[in-house]
């Protein structure tokens, strides 16, 4: 008898999830997976379970993953010294080979394996496959900490998406497979480029006009100046908070990705903490949500 209340609670949770499932039925949801959650086996298995449940519930999930820490460890193991400009790693020919090996190889297949272990049917791809994503060299700007001057730095073979050919993904989704995408792409010059995973996910979500783009990070979401979570923002709110210094540092490019995706037809973007157990399910299938939701207005 002691277990009965728990059973009732679980049934109530499932009933509350129904309208959310109906809202996302047959809709595309792009999830960028990265950060420390990728290095925790239990968290990775929870994430894979969430993805399989989304697909079984009628959604069309697409996973885009990063892998910065793993790339750093592999470069160190191979004795490849990295050059940094403005605190950002320069990707040269030797480095991009390692990037492709780690992202499109070991990490990509590991995530596919986790999803398969939970009963899902996943396929690992990168931007090169089927010419899915064409990239161009990205020029980054950094602010000198002493002079406060904005400088442009060349980070070598770091790219940004220039064009997304959605035909490959449409075919994969039609086959009821779960795409797991590594952010590596060709340029028009035939060169391989390392693309930021957030930016890559934003381009994929925009090209497919996804219902949602979820950016799993290492923080709860967007915080105000008192470090409290802001549950919801408009695009105009985001621009105002960047201007007044509330949104700073690494959160700025994430917000820029959110605005980019929304401008291209994504209904809303959510920045949420990937370390929270079942954060994806909390966001999509409950009334409470998780993190900061950003929409046009």
Beta strands in 13-167 (DSSP E): 28-33, 60-65, 84-85, 88-89, 122-126, 133-143, 150-164
CA dihedral 269, 157, 252, 179 (to 10 degrees): 10
Question: Which residues have C-beta within 8 Å of that of residue 174, sequence separation ≥ 6?
Answer: none
- Cα→Cα distances 242→169, 170, 235, 236, 255, Å: 34, 36, 11, 10, 9
Helix (H) or strand (E) holding 284: helix 279-285
Q: Is 66 annotated as a binding residue?
A: no
Q: Is 67 annotated as a binding residue?
A: yes
Task: Determine the Cα–Cα distance for residues 171 and 161; give it in Å rounded to an integer.
Answer: 21
Q: Is 89 annotated as a binding residue?
A: yes
Characterise 122 by phi-psi region: left (phi > 0), alpha (psi -120 to 50), beta (else): beta
Encoded tokens for 213 = 């783009």
Question: Is there a contact between 235 and 297 (Cβ–Cβ < 8 Å)?
Answer: yes
Q: Is 277 annotated as a binding residue?
A: no
Is 9 in a helix, a strand, or coil?
A: helix
Nearest to 156 by CA among 107, 195, 214, 213: 195
Question: Is there a contact between 156 and 92 (Cβ–Cβ < 8 Å)?
Answer: yes
Task: List the binding residues.
Answer: 67-68, 89, 194
Task: List the binding residues for substrate.
Answer: 67-68, 89, 194
């Amino acid at each position: 008898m002691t277990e009965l209340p728990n059973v009732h609670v679980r049934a109530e949770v499932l009933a509350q999830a129904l309208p959310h499932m109906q809202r996302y039925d047959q809709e595309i949801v792009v999830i960028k997976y990265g950060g420390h959650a990728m290095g925790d086996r239990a968290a990775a298995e929870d994430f894979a379970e969430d993805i399989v449940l989304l697909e079984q519930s009628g959604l069309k999930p697409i996973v885009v993953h990063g892998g910065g820490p793993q790339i750093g460890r592999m470069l160190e193991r191979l004795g490849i010294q990295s050059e940094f400009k403005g605190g950002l790693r320069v990707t040269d020919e030797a480095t991009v080979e390692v990037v492709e090996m780690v992202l499109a190889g070991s990490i990509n297949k590991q995530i596919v394996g986790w999803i398969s272990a939970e009963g899902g049917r996943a396929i690992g791809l990168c931007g090169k496959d089927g010419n899915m994503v064409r990239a161009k060299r990205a020029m980054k700007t950094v602010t000198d900490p002493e002079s406060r001057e904005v400088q442009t730095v060349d980070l070598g073979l770091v790219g940004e998406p220039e064009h997304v050919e959605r035909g490959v993904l449409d075919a994969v989704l039609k086959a009821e497979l779960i795409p797991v995408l590594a952010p590596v792409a060709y340029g028009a010059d035939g060169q391989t480029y390392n693309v930021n995973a957030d930016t890559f996910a934003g381009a994929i979500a925009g090209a497919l006009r996804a219902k949602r783009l979820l950016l799993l990070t290492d923080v709860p979401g967007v915080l105000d100046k008192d470090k409290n979570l802001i549950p919801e923002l408009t695009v105009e709110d985001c621009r105002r908070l960047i201007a007044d210094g509330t949104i700073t540092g690494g959160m700025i490019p994430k917000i820029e990705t959110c605005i980019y995706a929304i401008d291209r037809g994504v209904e809303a973007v959510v920045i949420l903490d990937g370390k929270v157990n079942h954060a994806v399910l909390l966001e999509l299938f409950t009334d409470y949500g998780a993190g900061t939701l950003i929409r046009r207005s």
